[in-house]
Structure 1
Amino acid sequence: MVRGVLNLTPYRRVLAVPGLRGLLLVSVLARVPMAATAVALTLHVVTDLGRGYAQAGLVGTAMTVGTALGSPVLGRVVDRRGLRPVLAVTTVTTALFWTVAPILPYPLLLVTAFAGGLLILPVYSVVRQSIAALVPEDQRRQAYAMDSMSVELAFMCGPALAVLISTSVSPRVTLLGIGAGMALAGVALIVLDPPTRVPTDPRTPGVRVPRRSWLTLRLIAILLGASAATLVLSGADVSVVAVLRAHGEVGWSAAVLGLWSVYSLAGGFAYGGLSRPLPPLALTVVLGLLTAPVGLGGGRWWLLALALLPAGALCAPTLAATADAVSRLVPGSVRGEAMGLHGSALTVGLSLGSPLAGTVIDATVPAGGFAAAGLLGALAAALVLPLELRRRRRDRAASDPVVLAEANAGG
């Protein structure tokens, strides 16, 4: 019975696609330093510059806003000019930012963090765009599941390495290490030069496609769902620390967050092996509803870790499903911009979830952070879910030969 539900053969098939293994390997190596950026910048501002956590948060916010604005623009340039020119420019600008960041005074760091975010190496969107170009549509779900699992691996390693190097050496060295790692990742992507478009794709036109023809309500709904999902995740991240701190077990935060990542890895693996895809917005709704009551599990770290299991198992599947949906909804010639918008949607959700949960925690109790992030994310996804379900029914009806025969007979 398990074999019928969870089929591992698709993973072997997708890993046999030429070029995919190298792309996934480079993506993991590139994402580790990127996952360390928030922690490294925070420790640098607080330790080296002697500022507060609020000011450190402003630097992170500046970079996040820059990334959200720059991601679709860089994707559009990739669509029009190709991948290598964008990688060359962003590799240089990324390396330059992380090289000068350790020596900048706080006001200049705040400004350059925004500029650095605008022209940051677009690893996430490039990898997801390349997966769509490399992998046939019937195998993309497994490929995007592995991509989401690689993100989890990066976030399991990156922040921990940043803390280790910052505390044992210095935060400035950590910033330089991030710059070196991202520069190497950019060079590796330039050498690899993964495809970003399938020339034989019948949906890939030879002329420029107007944005209004592909930026449909259904795509906007998927993007809103992606934002809702990361809002839930970032809000839960803050809430874990708050709950454990309130019960004197904050030292177990790393263990609980690590187990959460393990749950996500397992869920992503299971999702890729399912015989049928699941609607991304429905996954987001369930993710939010399962996150909302997590804080009721108590303040003991092992109880909190157990309470996170159901929601944690949906993290990677939800993000993989949104990326897969975006890749299918747009023509190949604009997929870079669309994946850039997807990256921006994820970034916006991440930037909103933490302050939302923090505000609720300060005003109520630590468990309120889970409830606020989970319920708001579920509500946002539920409001746009009918758009997705209606279109899925239309697509299913259009591909059903019985429905088509009846329609032709009626005509």
Structure 2
Amino acid sequence: MQYVPFTPYRRVLTLPRVRPSMALMFFARLPMTMTGVTLTLYVVSNLGHGYGAAGIVGAASTLGMALGAPLLGRSIDRYGLRPVVGVCGVTSTAFWIAVPHLSYAVLVVCALPAGFLSVPAGSLARQILAALVPAEQRRAAYSLDTILVEASFMIGPAAGIAAITSLSATVTLSGIGAIFGVTALLIFLLNPPIRNEDELAPIGSVRPPLRSWLSGRLLATLLVAAGTLFCLVGTEVATLAALRANGDVGWTGLVIVVMCAASMAGGIVHGAVKRSLPQGVLMLLLAVLVLPVGLADQPWWLLMLVLIPTNLLCAPTLAATTETVSTMAPPAVRGEAMGLQDASTRLGLALGSPVVGFAIDHSSPAWGFFAAGAGGLVLAAFGLLWTRRRRPAAVAPALAAAVRARR
């Protein structure tokens, strides 16, 4: 039978509740993509502080999200979706409506707990897909989810900038809070499943202990995920620095749109093919392709073209990460595992910007691309070496179990 490339996507989208759930989680992610640029512009333009001060607020919020993601995931596993989404929705709404009325010092203090209790839209979307989609179709589902993430990052920041520059900061930031509240309310009312019927644990069953599922291979996967985000955010910082240094800032929007479009195209191919590359190989290719970009950082159109190959691997790497985590984590702790994935990506984001920024400040934007790729390779190498080191130890118990089964 002839293989039709987009058949996997059609099969996923015809599954019950998949399309409305994906649409809902797309809109739930949109306000999150607006927060970074709008908060930065508010601190710089309205509060009169520098970009460094704005970065402190952003770092506090990111740290809060990284700390909160695993704990929120664990709470979802234990208490269900509605209590967590209700608390987080109220908190996020209240924080963003209050932001225009806070001083800088109070804003810094509130950013961390607000980040801690932000609605975990990313990990929720992945949990919902794991519950609605059979294991053999999840690569296409996670690829679609990653494509929608790229689309949200194409729309959200641009919409946020347009709103805060044409409207008042109070209206824009309060509007973001209102969107958080509405999407959280919709998630609460629709209450999409986080486990399918076959995965529901019997009443009174014991939760799997952390050491039974947080294996060396899973930790390695999370480390590779951190390296991926380190590389991606570092590439963005270096791209902006190169465009600014060469007087091409006006082309920034087009370059970023092409980068996102390349990532979406890669994600479409990754989800459509019968077999794809594993997460570690995809990440290594992504990082290696970034290393030489600085050799062709001008004019802007050449930089845009040489960024396409590495961005083709962005969505596939992120989708492969989610697929690997969902496969290795037991259903009873999937929320916590997805939260750990979120925490690892936040760690990569938090490390990538300052490290690559430091490299650019002390050399040139060209070396920023090298730092982004090299840093991602270092983190990925640690993860892959950890996997190889742990693999022999995991073979013996499996072999012993097989021998016992034969007896």
Q: What is the match of residue 220 of structure 2?
A: 221
Q: Quick check: 1:279 aligned with 2:257?
A: no
Preserved contact between residue 216 and residue 390 of structure 2 (Cα < 8 Å): no
Preserved contact between residue 203 and residue 331 of structure 1 (Cα < 8 Å): no
Q: 2:315 and 2:348 mapped to 1: Cα distance? A: 15
Q: 2:91 and 2:385 mapped to 1: Cα distance? A: 42
Preserved contact between residue 357 and residue 373 of structure 1 (Cα < 8 Å): yes
Q: What is the match of residue 373 of structure 1?
A: 372
Distance 1:112 1:317, change over 3 A: same
Q: Which runs of 5+ in 2 are unaligned?
A: none
Q: Could you give the per-residue CA deviations for residues 318-354 of structure 1, whole angstroms, max 9, x where no partner exists?
A: 0111011100101100000000000111111111111
How many residue pairs match? The answer is 404
Q: 1:32 and 1:373 mapped to 2: Cα distance? A: 26
Q: Could you give the per-residue CA deviations for residues 206-238 of structure 1, whole angstroms, max 9, x where no partner exists?
A: 321100000000000000011100000100111
Q: What is the match of residue 383 of structure 2?
A: 384
Q: 1:375 and 1:199 mapped to 2: Cα distance? A: 44
Q: What is the match of residue 130 of structure 1?
A: 128
1:170 is displaced (CA, Å) by 2.4
1:239 is displaced (CA, Å) by 0.6
Question: Residue type of the partner of 1:223?
Answer: L
Q: 1:372 and 1:5 mapped to 2: Cα distance? A: 41
Q: What is the match of residue 19 of structure 2?
A: 21
Q: Quick check: 1:95 aligned with 2:80?
A: no
Preserved contact between residue 226 and residue 379 of structure 2 (Cα < 8 Å): no
Say which is worse superposed, 274-283 or 213-222, in terms of deviation: 274-283
Q: Quick check: 1:32 aligned with 2:30?
A: yes
Q: 2:391 and 2:9 mapped to 1: Cα distance? A: 25
Question: Residue type of the partner of 1:131?
Answer: L
Q: What is the match of residue 268 of structure 1?
A: 267
TM-score after normalising by structure 2: 0.94
Question: Residue type of the partner of 1:37?
Answer: T
Q: 1:393 and 1:191 mapped to 2: Cα distance? A: 48
Q: What is the match of residue 295 of structure 1?
A: 294
Q: 2:95 and 2:330 mapped to 1: Cα distance? A: 34
Q: 2:313 and 2:201 mapped to 1: Cα distance? A: 31
Q: Could you give the per-residue CA deviations for residues 256-289 of structure 1, whole angstroms, max 9, x where no partner exists?
A: 0110000001010110001113211111111100
Preserved contact between residue 282 and residue 381 of structure 1 (Cα < 8 Å): no
Distance 1:309 1:389, change over 3 A: farther
Preserved contact between residue 283 and residue 318 of structure 1 (Cα < 8 Å): yes
Q: What is the match of residue 234 of structure 2?
A: 235
Q: Which runs of 5+ in 1 are unaligned?
A: none
Q: Quick check: 1:195 aligned with 2:193?
A: yes
Q: 1:338-349, aligned counterparts within 5 Å?
A: 338-349=337-348
Preserved contact between residue 287 and residue 378 of structure 1 (Cα < 8 Å): no
Q: 1:151 and 1:140 mapped to 2: Cα distance? A: 16
Q: Could you give the per-residue CA deviations for residues 56-91 of structure 1, whole angstroms, max 9, x where no partner exists?
A: 000000000000000110100000011100011101
1:7 is displaced (CA, Å) by 2.0
Question: Residue type of the partner of 1:263?
Answer: A
Corresponding residue SS for 1:196? coil
Preserved contact between residue 263 and residue 313 of structure 2 (Cα < 8 Å): yes
Q: 2:365 and 2:132 mapped to 1: Cα distance? A: 44
Q: What is the match of residue 363 of structure 1?
A: 362
Q: 1:327-342, aligned counterparts within 5 Å?
A: 327-342=326-341
Corresponding residue SS for 2:125? helix
Question: Residue type of the partner of 1:254?
Answer: G
Question: Residue type of the partner of 1:363?
Answer: H
1:171 is displaced (CA, Å) by 2.6
Q: 1:73 and 1:121 mapped to 2: Cα distance? A: 12
1:203 is displaced (CA, Å) by 8.9
